[in-house]
Amino acid sequence: MSSLPSSPGEKTTARIEPARGPLRGRLSVPGDKSISHRALLFGALAEGEQIVTGLAPGADVASTRSVLEALGARIERRDGGLVVRGDGALSLRASRQPLDCGNSGTTMRLMAGALAGLGIEATLVGDASLSRRPMERVAAPLRAMGARIETTDGHAPLKMSKTGKLRGIVHRSEVASAQVKSCVLLAGLRAEGETTVQEPERSRDHTERLLTSMGVSLDDATRGRVSLKGGQALSAVRVEVPGDLSSAAFPIVAALLVRGSDVEVEGVGLNPTRTGFLEVLDMMGAEVELGIEGASGGEPLGRVRARGSRDLEPVTVSGDVVVRAIEELPALFALAAFAKGRSTFRNAQELRKKESDRIAAMARGLRALGVECEELEDGLAVVGDPGRALAGGVTVESEDDHRIAMALACAALRSRDAVLVAGASAVQISYPGFFEDLDDLRGEERP
C-alpha cells in the first residue's frame, strides 16, 4: 500500500492488495468528530476552562479550532489535551478576515448559529466541496430568529452582519439533521424566549448531551423535538472524547468481509442515536459483540468486536435506522456486496449532499469492482454474493471523500488483484491512520 501525505490537500493513490489471510488485532480509532467540534466550540462559549482530551485529529476539527482562534478564542495544549478558556458571551469577537471552514460542514453550520446568537459580524467560507453543500437550511431559521445572514445562491460563503437580540422560534426542520438542530439551539441560547426544533426523525443528540453536562436545561420530552430557553450560561467541564463509531465502522466491516478475521475496537462511542450501523449489522446476521464500559460527558462508550465467521443476509433498510447510520452507509454498501442477495437502502437522500454525492460515488465504485447495483433517488440497491471475488487491477475514485475512500478500500480486500483507490489522502479528514491500521490488522509491516 502506498504511503499517504500528511496534508489533506495532497492527493495520493493507495494500492490495496487482496487479503491473503484473516485480519486480527485490537485498535483504537480517532476521537469522535461530532463531539470534538462541539467540545471546542461550546468551551469557547462557556465560563472557565474546558479541558478536552481524545480530540479527533483530522482536518475537519482543525478547521473548527482555527476558526475559533481567528475569532479570539484562547486554546492551548496541556497534559495531552487542549484547554479552551472561555468568557461566556465575551469570548469571541468579529473577524475582518474570512473564516475558513475547510471541508467541514459541522464547523460552518454550528459556527453560524453561535455567531448569530452573539450578533457577531463574520464571513464563513469553505473549500470547493463545502461550497456546494446546502446552507439555506441553517440560514433560513436564523433569519426567522432575526439574524442578518446571506448565502451565495444557497451556499457558502455565508455573510453574517451584526444584529441585536434574537427571538426564539419553533423551527420544523424538513430533514433530520444534527447540524441544523445544533445551529438553531446555539442561536437560541442567546435569544429571547424559548427556541424549539422539531425533526421528522430524531438526529444524533451530541449537542443535547454536552449542553446538559455544561449546565443548560433542555426540554427533550418528545421524539424529534427539543427546546431550550434563552439566556442560559454554559459552565466549562472536562470532556473525554470517545472513539468515533463512524471511523470504527471501516475496520469492523473489513473484519466481517474477510473469513476468519477477529478485530476489536476499543473505547468507541456507543451513543444510541449513532448505533443504526450496528443494528443493520445485527439484521445481516453478522457476529458482532458489544460491551458498554463507561461514559464521558453523558456519552456511553465501550468496545466492539467483529468476527468474519458467517455469510451475511441481505437487508432492506429505511426510516429511523438510516438517520442513525447515515455516516456509515458507504461502509454498509460495501458490506452488502457480499451478502446473500439484494440489499436495499432507502430514505438516504441526505447522502447526496455530503462531501460527495455518496450514493452516486459508491455506485460508480462498486460497479468498477464488478458489483451489480441500482442507484435510487433516495438510496442504493446492491446485489450481493458471499462467494464473490471482485474484479481487481482497476482504479476506483474516492471523489475526494474520506468515507468513500475507506469503504472502497474495505471492499477491495475481497478482490482478485490489487485495486488502486484514487484520492485516498481524503482519509486525513477523519481517520488519518486508516491505511496504517489496516496494514497492522493484516499483519503487514509498514514501509
Domain membership of residue 193 (yes or no) is yes
Closest by Cα among 258, 217, 259, 211 to 239: 211
C-alpha cell at 36: 470534538
The DSSP letter of residue 301 is: E
Do 300 and 416 share a structural domain? yes
Query: How is the beta sheet containing 225-229 ordered, strand by strand?
Result: 170-172, 194-198, 225-229, 218-222
Do 249 and 138 share a structural domain? no
pLDDT of residue 52: 96
Domain membership of residue 2 (yes or no) is no
Q: Is pLDDT at 144 greater than 80 in this prediction?
A: yes
Q: Is pLDDT at 5 greater than 50 in this prediction?
A: no
Count of Cβ atoms closer than 10 Å to residue 173 Cβ:
17
Question: Which residues neighbour 140 within 8 Å (Cβ) at sequence distance 6 or greater?
Answer: none
Do 62 and 210 share a structural domain? yes
Do 39 and 25 share a structural domain? no
Q: Is pLDDT at 4 greater than 80 in this prediction?
A: no
Do 198 and 134 share a structural domain? yes
Task: Calculate mean pLDDT across residues 348-370.
Answer: 96
| pLDDT bracket for residue 9 (50, 70, 90) | low
pLDDT of residue 290: 95
Question: Domain ends where: 180, 212, 239?
Answer: 239
pLDDT of residue 3: 41
Task: Calculate mean pLDDT across residues 20-48.
Answer: 97
pLDDT of residue 445: 56
| Cβ burial, residue 3 (10 Å; 0-12/13-18/19+) | exposed
| Cβ burial, residue 212 (10 Å; 0-12/13-18/19+) | middle
Question: Domain ends where: 239, 260, 283?
Answer: 239
Scanning the structure block, which residue is given the C-alpha cell 477477529?
Answer: 262
Do 328 and 220 share a structural domain? no
Contact 59, 100 (CB under 8 A): no
Do 340 and 255 share a structural domain? yes
pLDDT of residue 88: 84
Do 263 and 233 share a structural domain? no
Do 281 and 354 share a structural domain? yes
Domain membership of residue 4 (yes or no) is no
Domain membership of residue 5 (yes or no) is no
Domain range enclosing 124: 33-239
Do 256 and 187 share a structural domain? no
Q: Is pLDDT at 8 greater than 50 in this prediction?
A: no
Question: Domain ends where: 194, 217, 239?
Answer: 239
Give how many domains the chain has, as a whole number.
Answer: 2
Q: How would you classify the pairing of strands 342-345 and 316-317? A: parallel
pLDDT of residue 391: 87
Give me the phi and psi of 372, to 5 degrees please: -80, 125
Q: Is pLDDT at 11 greater than 80 in this prediction?
A: no
Do 215 and 251 share a structural domain? no
> Mean pLDDT of all residues in the chain?
94
| pLDDT bracket for residue 223 (50, 70, 90) | confident
Q: Is pLDDT at 139 greater than 50 in this prediction?
A: yes
Domain membership of residue 81 (yes or no) is yes
**Global confidence as pTM:** 0.89
Domain membership of residue 8 (yes or no) is no
Q: Is pLDDT at 111 greater than 70 in this prediction?
A: yes
Alpha carbons 231 and 336: distance in angstroms, whole number: 48
Task: Calculate mean pLDDT across residues 15-31.
Answer: 96
Alpha carbons 334 and 253: distance in angstroms, whole number: 8
Domain membership of residue 57 (yes or no) is yes
Domain membership of residue 112 (yes or no) is yes
Give one DSSP letter per residue of 149-176, joined into a string. EEEETTEEEEEEE-----B--EEE-SS-
Instruction: Tell me the pLDDT tens digit for each residue of 403-424.
Output: 999 999 999 999 999 999 999 9
273: CATH: 3.65.10.10
Instruction: Tell me the pLDDT tens digit for each residue of 299-336.
Output: 899 999 999 999 999 999 999 999 999 999 999 999 99
Instruction: Tell me the pLDDT tens digit for each residue of 249-274.
Output: 999 999 999 999 999 999 999 999 99
Task: Calculate mean pLDDT across residues 432-443.
Answer: 96
Q: Is pLDDT at 10 greater than 80 in this prediction?
A: no
C-alpha cell at 171: 423551527
Do 335 and 306 share a structural domain? yes
